[in-house]
Every structure is written in structure tokens, then in C-alpha cells.
Amino acid sequence: MAAVSGINKMYGVCLHAVRVTAGLRAARLLQHRAFRVGAVHQQQPFDSSLEKPQFPGASAEFIDNLEFIQPNVISGIPIYRVMDRQGNIINPSQDPQLSKETVLNFYQKMTLLNTMDRILYESQRQGRISFYMTNYGEEGTHIGSAAALDPNDIVFGQYREAGVLMYRGFPLDMFMAQCYANADDLGKGRQMPVHYGSKDLNFVTISSPLATQIPQAAGAAYAVKRENMNRAVICYFGEGAASEGDAHAGFNFSATLECPLIFFCRNNGYAISTPTNEQYRGDGIAARGPGYGMMSIRVDGNDVFAVYNATKEARRRAVAENQPFLIEAMTYRIGHHSTSDDSSAYRSVDEVNYWDKQDHPISRLRHYMTARSWWSEDDERSWRKQSRKMVMEAFEKAEKRLKPSPELLFTDVYQEMTPNLDKQRQSMWRHVQQYKEHYPLDLYDK
Amino acid sequence: MAAAARFFTRGAHSKLSLVAVGGGGGAHCSFGAALLNASPTCNSRTKTQRRHAAHFTFQPDPVPTQYGPTQKMNLFQSITSALDNTLAADPTAVIFGEDVAFGGVFRCTVGLRDKYGKDRVFNTPLCEQGIVGFGIGAAVAGATAIAEIQFADYIYPAFDQIVNEAAKYRYRSGNLFDCGNLTIRAPWGCVGHGSLYHSQSPEAFFAHCPGIKVVIPRSPVQAKGLLLSCIADQNPCIFFEPKILYRAAVEQVPMESYTIPLSQAEVLEEGSDVTLVAWGTQACADERKENNLRGVKGAKPSPHDPCAEGSGKHGPRETGGVMRGHRSTDHPALGCGYRLQVGGENWPFAHQPRGPNNRRLCF
């Protein structure tokens, strides 16, 4: 048939022309090619009898009036919550009905974190440690999500998730050791404070570049999916880091490669001094999820039960269905970005006070507990004293410890010590021995 | 109009052979045709330029006997063989990148998806920072991750992940975590027609970064052994594959697994006049004949130990000096840093007016 030989020459020039001129024979040829080229999902077989779109790139109907989709930022994705700001359960079916012991543990971990933050922030101000970042206002996001995970789930964090580590049982001594960079630091004193990590607790060591952990979390989730051991991965990041290219990469990879992964965005209103209206123009981070084909939800990050419920369900489904979930936890960064920041330069004290006094995850949980007579004023007083004492003890101990051995400057660059590094190491020791009066070697471990 | 006039006059004085002028709008075509006819030195039949393919003759090594039975393979087939061996032996191994599923744009992964499954050999979205980031994460979680970047020219979006993350993972975590299971592969180097973005040799950017290893083979036998070493090595490795050798280099390559040490210079030829150091395609060049030198050729110096071949009986102290050959830019190049390092090490010897064999030492 002339039409058939014509098809072979015309292929690649115009699909539409082929469809119109050919008929079923051509449709079968092209269908065959589509199956061969197609990846995981096969293309739909053509049916040229209906006037339906056949594009491989989108599954949609035709429309014949010109209409731009309006981004809905006025009434964006709704915010899921379980408690009101006074700690009362709004819809009883959403109350996770956790035991008193569990809820007390939530509260104590949040307040212990808060106490540790106060003391370590102060210690930086006094010149005892070089740098610190507090978690004020975001304790609910840490504890609620950590409690919903399995201990074996891998955590990739950004830098403001110390509560996750605390919930999992990272000792105060180890927090302090990392901040003081002393010889007990698991990280061997190499990083700035708050760059925690723990292999035992499946908390991958923090790094300073933002959002780099997001595609890494997708890779880790893919690997654990293949292991088939009922493990998930969670990846925390702020709304600022979500602007990075790595975030886009991580979202897209996790969706296309079907990874059991929870993306947990702490939208706390600021990226250092940059408010959200200068960070994005769309409806936050949750609205991006559907763009990637990802299940998404927005929650009240100051409601520890809402965070818990959402994370729990996301985790269950991520593992069961091998797909990523995006949780955007709305919260507020009550503290400065870090000890190098003074946020009064870009926001009002009134704004900060509102969140501190009227919508704080710790107070909301306390109201919930006191309403059930699970926590009294006496309990509060004695716990404050006890937690402060625990932190101070760890703090004093950490201060007295020696610093790591200078040998550790040169190890772990590669798995093995290389001749080049060994030469530098020997050169360092020669120098330090020659000028030992300038080097306080007695402060360092051998 | 003025430009056309200039073109016309230039054509009048020189033997200008014109490539086909047509193609484009009608007016253009007829104008060009008019020019052709008007120019006195042009024939009515246009002389088309002959395309000169890159001139390269690969010399295969003698057949290796110590690694078992061999098969004739070109470079991309030796890569496929290495990947095949890896996927067979290591159930955690996965290969991913752009277009690897159907076999790859250079055929390096042909047949692997059918043989080992779509969960082990798969396409990723078009995003190098994602490919490397994903690879790092998979490696951290314990899988053997083999990432492909389609051309070394496109590796830069992944630079942050490679330098700030992969290279520093072990050090910054105090050895709690590492991505030693990661290997990144990329086609590398000039091929004749690649122009700016399909010809680059970016090894110098990465050689400067402690924590990663950069490896560039010179032949199929070397490629398979070195790639298998990179995959086995517990440090993140970047494996650059000279694309001009993919088809041009053919050798008898062992079918089973074997490794070639990463951190040792390979002495290709003994000599005493000068130490020639080269890597990749340059190691195939017969500089000895071209430069009338009786020299030693060391291939693939490991960037974290560039002095390995700078010392010992083949180093500059024994010969008359070091020349480094490579195909990257001299802007300054990897060779420059290398020269400073080897030069510095050998300074006491270079200072003497005459080196051994009464030759002046040069770097």
C-alpha cells in the first residue's frame, strides 16, 4: 500500500498527519514503537476513532476556551490540626489517644530540648562554644514526627531537628560533646556545633549546605525499598531550603522512582531574615507536591498530635505503597536564626511574643495534660529543676573534657590514610614539636 | 548588503570552497546562488568540504593471561562487562542515570536491564545534581550505587554534591557514615566533533578535592579492571571514560572480574632521559616516537598521590625531569599543580646545576 510505505518515510515528521492519513496499520506500528521506548509505565494504545489527546506527556482532556489556571494562594491548602490553641481536642476521632506515659514523654522531651537550647545559647554568648542554633517554637514538629517513626527509619535532617535526635535517645553528653567539639564527640570535633549525627540512632550527620540531604534521602529510600525490611526514610528541611534545586531534584526522583520517603518541611516563616513572601509566591511547599505527583498535606506544626497523626499515616502508606509523602508543618521560628543573628533587625518583638505566648507547642500540650490531670504545677516545677540539673551536669562535664587528638585532622579523608596526608600529618607534628610553647597540647587528647 | 559585498570580493580573490549555501528562506537561497554564480573562482558545482574524522590509532596491549579467558571487546563493551560482573556478584548494586535503561547513549549498559531487572538498571529524571545526590544517599544506605552522568561536560550541576557532600561524608561524620559505595561514571575527553560541550576533560576540578578518587583508563583492559576497583573501593570514585576510545580501542579483555590497583602508577616503558606522565587518551599517544625521547611513561597518576611516580627509580631524580601530557586545558591544568608538587619535592635535586647522567633537571 502506498500509504504504508509513505508512513515509513514520514515517521518522525508529523504524528498527526500519519494518524489522519493511515489508519489501523499505522496505529499498530507506532504502538509497537511506543511500547519499546516506554519506561516503567507503558503508553496507552491509540484509538484514533475518538477525538482524545494521544500525547505521551499528559493524561488530560481537550478544552476549547482559553483559560489560565489561577494559583490559589488566598485560600490555600488547609491546615490539619487536632487541638485548638488551648490544647482542646477539636474532633475526638482525631485524638490519637496516646497513653499518659507517652504524652508525658513528649512533653518532657520538648521541654528538655528547650532547656538545653537556653543553656547552650547562653554558653555561646559567654564564649564557651563557638556557635549555636536553637529550636524555639518548633519542638512540636520534632517530637510529633519522631514519635511516629520506627527507630530503624533513617533520618536526614537540615540543622533544626535536634528534638528528633533527643526523642530517639541521644544523650545530653553527646549533644554537648559535639557542641564543645571535645574528645567524646562522635564526629571527632570536625564540624561546627549542632552538626549532630548518630549511626546507632539512624540519624545521618548534618551538613551545612542546605537541601543537599533531599536527593540523598530519595536514594537512601530507594535502597531500603530494595532491602524490603519495612523501613522508611524521613527528610527534614525548611521552607527556605525548599527553594534549592536539590529540593526539586529530590521530590522528582522520589516520585518517579517510587521511594518510601516522607518529606517533612518545617515552614517557620523565615530563612534567616527572608520572610516567606520573598521565598516563594505560590501556596507554600505543600502545593508543590501535586506538581510532582506526590501525596501532600499541610499540618499545624505547633500541634504535636497533628504532626504525629500525619507522620504516622504517611509512614504507613509510604512503606506499604512505595510512594513519597510531603508534609508541610506550619510553625514559627521564635528564636534567632543562630547565635550570629539578631532577628530584631527584620521582625518585630510583638510578632515573636505572639507565638511565644499564644501559640506554642509546649504550652498547648501542657494544657492538654493539665485538662486530664496528668500534670500539675508541682510536676512542672520539679521537672524544670530536674531537667535543668541534667543539662548543667552534662554541660560542666563536657567543658572539662579534652579536645580530640590532632591526629584526627588527617584520618577519615579516605577510608585509608594516603601517603600524601601522612606526609602532612608528620609535617604538622614536626612543626608542633618545634614550636610547642605556642600550642596548648595539654588541652588535647593524645 | 555590505557583508554580502565583502563576501563577494573575498570570494573573488581566494580559492574559497563553499559549503552548501541553501537551506533557509527563499530570498536567502537565491541570493546565495547569485553570489555563487557571480564569483569568478567558484565553479558552478560547489566544492564541499570533506569532514576529517579524528585521527587516532589505538595500539592494543598484549593479551593478559593472568585473569582467565578473554574476549575481544572495545571500551564500551569492557565497561558493560565490568557492570555485568558487578550486578551478578553484588545484589545491592544498582545502575542509574539518563537513558541507561535502553543501553545508554554510548551502549555501555546494553542488555543489563533485561538481565538484572528494572529495579536495578533504571532511568532517572534529567537532573545531574539529583543523580549524584540520589547516588550518595543510596550508597550511605548500603547499596553499591553506580551513577552515570551522560557527558563529563554536564557534571557541574553535581559539583556541590560531589565536593561538599560525597568527598566529605566520611570525614565530617567522624566515620559514622560514608558513601564509599558510590561510583560516578562519565564519558570524557575530546572526540573530534564534540565542540565545547561534548569534549571536556574536567578532572582537574575534582583532583583538587580530597576525599574522592578520579580515575581515567587508557584502554579496555585497564578500563574494566579500574572500574571494578572503583566500584570495590570504599571511597567515592569518579571514573572518566575516554569517549574517543569507546569504539576505537579494541583488545582481548578478561571476561571474569579482576581489579587493577588505583593508587599505583603504571610504568609503560622504561627509560632514563625523562619521566613522561600521562592519563587517559594521552597515554595512548606515542610521544616517545614523536619527540625522539627514550622516556618512561607513567599512566594514571592518582591525584591524591601525584608523587607516586615522581619518586622511585622512574622519578625525575633518576631521569632528567618530568613532562606531563594531558588533554585538558592548560589554564592552569592539573599538570600544573602536579608539576609544582613534584617540583617542590625534588627541589634539592633540581637545584644542582647538573642532575644524574649530566642532564639538567627540568619540570
Condensed to tens digits (0 to 9), the pLDDT of residues B28-58 reads 444 444 444 445 554 556 677 777 765 678 9
Among the partner-chain residues A185, A226, A412, the one whose CB lies closest to the CB of B171 is: A412
Query: CB B127 to CB A217 under 8 A?
Result: no
Say if residue B194's pLDDT is above 90: yes
Chain B neighbors of A245, CB-CB under 8 A? 129, 157
Active site residue A161: no
- Does the pLDDT at position A43 exceed 80? no
Cβ–Cβ gap A216/B127 under 8 Å: no
Above 60 in pLDDT, residue A8? no
User: CA of A133 to nearest chain B CA: how many angstroms apart?
Assistant: 19
Asked if A192 and A413 touch (Cβ cutoff 8 Å), the reply is: no
- Which residue of chain A comes nearest to B178, CA vs CA? A415
Chain A residue numbers touching B138 (CB-CB < 8 A): 219-220, 222-223
Do B37 and B7 contact (CB within 8 A), yes or no?
A: no
Helices B2-13 and B26-38: angle between axes, nearest 10 degrees: 30
Q: Please enumerate in sequence order all residues whose Cβ is within 8 A of that of A246, keeping only pairs 6 or more positions apart, or say none.
A: A210, A211, A212, A214, A215, B129, B130, B133, B160, B161
The answer, for A311 touching chain B at a CB cutoff of 8 Å, is no
B211–chain A nearest CA distance, Å? 5
Burial of B272 (0-12, 13-18, 19+ CB in 10 A): middle
d(CA A418, CA A148): 43
Write out pLDDT tens, residues A380-413: 999 999 999 999 999 999 999 999 999 999 999 9
pLDDT for A95 equals 98
Query: What single letter denotes the amino acid at residue B74?
Result: N
Contact A218 B165 (CB under 8 A): no
**What's the pTM?**
0.85
Output the nine-digit C-alpha cell for B76: 564500551
Instruction: Give dist(CA B284, CA B294) in Å, integer.
Output: 16
Separation CA A13–CA A204 (nearest Å): 51
Q: How far apart are CA B19 and CA B12, in angstroms?
A: 16
**A122 tagged catalytic:** yes
The CA distance from A159 to A206, in Å, is 6
- CA–CA dist A249, B161 (Å, integer): 12
Find the residue in A nearest to B307 (Cα): A420
Confidence of residue B15 (pLDDT cuts 50, 70, 90): very low
Q: Which helix (H) or strand (E) holds A155?
A: strand A154-156
d(CA B189, CA A258): 35
Tell which A residues from 362 to 421 touch B, by Cβ distance under 8 Å: 411-415, 418-421
Where does A66-121 show beta strands of DSSP type E? 79-80
Name, in order, each residue with C-beta under 8 angstroms of A169's C-beta and a sequence gap of 6 or more.
A201
Residues 6+ positions from A282 with CB-CB distance below 8 Å: A71, A73, A288
Tell which A residues from 229 to 248 touch B, by Cβ distance under 8 Å: 233, 245-246, 248
Residue B175 to residue A411: CA distance in whole angstroms? 9
Give the whole-angstrom CA distance, residue A278 versus residue A332. 16
Whether A419 sits inside 8 A of B157 (CB atoms) is no
Burial B54-91 (b: 16+ CB within 10 A, else e): eeeebeeeeeeeebeebeebbbbbbbbbbbbbbbeeee
Cβ–Cβ contact A157 with B under 8 A: no
Interface residue B67 vs chain A (CB under 8 A): no
A249 to chain B: which residues are within 8 Å by CB?
A: 125, 127, 129-130, 133-134
Choose the closest CB to B304 out of A222, A227, A418. Answer: A418
pLDDT for position A409 = 97
What would the pLDDT profile of B281-304 be if each residue is shown by its tens digit? 888 765 545 554 444 444 444 444
What angle is formed at CA A325 by the lines to CA A155 and CA A293, rounded to 5 degrees? 135
How many CB atoms lie under 10 A from the CB of residue A399?
13
C-beta atoms of B134 and A218 within 8 A: yes
Task: Say whether pLDDT at A127 is over 50.
Answer: yes
Q: Write out chain B residues lying below 8 Å of A191, CB-based.
A: 172
Nearest C-alpha in B relative to A249: B130
- How far is the C-alpha of A419 from the C-alpha of A410, rounded, in Å? 11
Nearest-CA residue of chain B relative to A245?
Answer: B129
The number of beta carbons lying within 10 Å of the beta carbon of residue B170 is 24
Measured CA to CA, the distance from residue A315 to residue A196 in angstroms comes to 24
A16 in B contact zone (CB under 8 Å): no
B contacts of A253 (beta carbons < 8 Å): 124-125, 127, 130, 134
Is A431 an annotated catalytic residue? no
B274, B295 in Cβ contact below 8 A?
Answer: yes
Q: Which residues on B lie below 8 Å from A247 (Cβ)?
A: none
B174/A185 touch (CB, cutoff 8 Å), yes or no: yes
Cα–Cα separations (whole angstroms), residue A76 to A81, A237, A240, A316, B54: 15, 21, 19, 26, 59
Mean pLDDT, residues A322-331 taken together: 98
Answer yes or no: is pLDDT of B268 > 80. Answer: yes
Chain B nearest CA to A269, separation (Å): 26
For chains A and B, count residue pairs whose Cβ atoms are closer than 8 Å: 165
Q: Are B76 and B107 in contact (CB under 8 A)?
A: yes
The mean per-residue pLDDT over the stretch B265-277 comes to 85
**Cα-based distances in Å from B32 to A140, A365, A413, B14, B42:** 74, 82, 63, 17, 12
Please give the Cα distance from A197 to A186 (Å, whole number): 8
Q: Is B259 exposed, middle or buried (0-12, 13-18, 19+ CB in 10 A)?
A: middle
The model's pLDDT over A365-377, given as tens digits with 9 standing for 90+, comes to 999 999 999 999 9
Report the pLDDT value the prediction gives residue A367, as an integer from 0 to 100: 98
Which residue of B102, B130, B170 is in closest CB contact with A215? B130
pLDDT number for residue B349: 47
Question: Which of the residues A174, A184, A196, A420 would you substitute to probe the B interface, choosing the one with the greatest number of B C-beta atoms within 10 Å?
Answer: A420
Residues of B in contact with A420 (CB under 8 A): 304-305, 307
Query: Does residue B75 contact residue B247 with C-beta atoms inside 8 Å?
Result: yes
Chain A residues within an 8 Å CB radius of B175? 188, 411-412
CB–CB contact A40 B118 (8 Å) = yes
Better pLDDT: B358 or A296: A296
Please name the residues between 195 and 224 in chain A that touch chain B, using a CB distance below 8 Å.
Answer: 195, 197-199, 204-205, 207, 209, 212, 214-224
One of A208, A344, A348, A382 is an active-site residue; which one? A208
Q: Hey, what's the cell of B144?
A: 553499591
pLDDT at A416 over 80: yes
Query: Is B122 close to A257, i.e. CB distance below 8 A?
Result: yes
CB contact under 8 A, A190 and B138: no
For the stretch A338-364, pLDDT in tens is 999 999 999 999 999 999 999 999 999
Chain A CB contacts of B125 under 8 Å are 249, 252-253, 256
Locate the chain B residue with the closest alpha carbon to A404.
Answer: B174
Query: pLDDT tens digits, residue range A69-122?
Result: 999 878 999 999 999 999 999 999 999 999 999 999 999 999 999 999 999 999
Residue in B with minimal Cα distance to A224: B141
Sequence-distant (6+) residues with CB within 8 A of A10 are A17, A18
Is cis: bond before B332, omega within 30 of 0? yes
Question: What mean pLDDT is reported for chain A?
Answer: 92
- Higher per-residue pLDDT: A180 or A37: A180
Instruction: Give the torsion through C-alpha atoms of B89, B94, B100, B101, to 10 deg.
Output: 90
Structure confidence by residue, pLDDT tens digits, B118-138: 999 999 999 999 999 999 999
Confidence of residue A181 (pLDDT cuts 50, 70, 90): very high
Domains parsed from chain A with CATH numbers: 92-400 (3.40.50.970), 406-443 (no CATH)
Q: Which H or E run contains B185?
A: strand B182-188
- Whether residue B14 is predicted with pLDDT greater than 80 in this model: the reply is no
Give A223's contacts in chain B (Cβ within 8 Å).
92, 94, 137-138, 141-143, 145
CA B10 to chain centre: 41
The C-alpha of B106 sits at a distance from chain A's nearest C-alpha, in angstroms, of 17
Parallel, antiparallel or unpaired: strands B145-148 and B322-325: unpaired
A422 touches chain B (CB under 8 A): no
Q: Average the pLDDT over each of A13-27, A238-252, B182-196, B245-259 and give the range with the smallest value.
A: A13-27
Largest CA-CA distance found in chain B, in angstroms, rounded: 77
Residue (of A84, A219, A235, A94) closest to A154 by Cα position: A235
Task: Please indicate whether, in this complex, the C-beta atoms of B172 and A221 are within 8 angstroms of each other.
Answer: no
Provide the pLDDT for residue A372.
97
- Residues of B recognised as catalytic: 128, 198
CA distance readout (Å), B9 to A14, A367, A432: 43, 92, 75
Q: Decide: A61 and A69 in contact? Cβ < 8 Å.
A: no
State the amino acid at position A268 in one-letter form.
N
Q: How far is A431 from chain B (nearest CA, A)?
A: 18
Residue contact B171–A413, C-beta within 8 A: yes
For residue B4, what pLDDT band results from cuts at 50, 70 and 90? very low
Using a CB–CB cutoff of 8 Å, tell me whether B118 touches chain A: yes
**pLDDT given at position B82:** 98
Give Cα A95 to chain centroid, integer Å. 25
- Phi and psi at B145, nearest 5°, equal -105, 120
Integer Cα distance of A214 and A263 in angstroms: 8
